[in-house]
Chain A
Amino acid sequence: MTEYESMAARQRKWMFYLLAILVLGAGFTPYLTIFLGLLLGSAVSLYNLWLLQKKIVDFTGAVAEKQPVKGIGTMSRFAAAALVVIIALRFDEYFNVIAVLIGLMTSYLVITLDFAVSHFKKK
């Protein structure tokens, strides 16, 4: 397993742990709309993370083998974020919109923290 693959697997693992905690929060606390919003945002954030990881592997592989390259999926990620916000605005009695926004940002938090931790572990 390359360094990139192990990093990608580690990030997905942390996202799944976070999703499990959010499911517990939605099930056992009175803040249902907030946790459902966080859950919805984090689920789409996990999809965005997976898509980014996959697209970068495809892109760099195509560049290294001198094959024609495709995009890196920026518009797909924007569209996923827009879709989740439309869902949250449409069903605002179930989802807190600010919580959805915070949930969407969790993968970036995981990427940053994972990079910082692995960088300081190497030193």
Chain B
Amino acid sequence: MGALAAAIAVGLAALGAGVGNGLIVSRTVEGIARQPELKGSLQTTMFIGVGLVEAMPIIAVVIALMVM
């Protein structure tokens, strides 16, 4: 059961990270394609967004490995 719990935890965390990263990346790609001169500020926004989105799934991976 521990392995199942770990798998569900990591799977749901990866799902959340995928949706969050997908939203951020799609908007950034749209923005850069429209206005390439804004690449610098969009890079910063994307970096902070992706960084914050990925914090929770990494905690989930760690906790899943701990309970396994």
Contact = CB atoms under 8 A, between A and B. Distances in A.
B25 to A, nearest CB: 7
A121 to B, nearest CB: 14
Interface residues of A, number: 34
A51 B29 CA distance: 19
Contacts of B50: 52, 56, 72
Given A57-B43, A64-B36, 19 more contacts: A2-B40, A4-B44, A4-B47, A53-B47, A59-B25, A60-B42, A60-B46, A64-B32, A64-B39, A78-B14, A78-B57, A78-B58, A89-B65, A97-B66, A101-B59, A101-B62, A105-B55, A108-B52, A108-B55
Interface of B: 14, 17-18, 21, 25, 28-29, 32-33, 36, 39-44, 46-48, 50-52, 54-55, 57-59, 61-62, 65-66
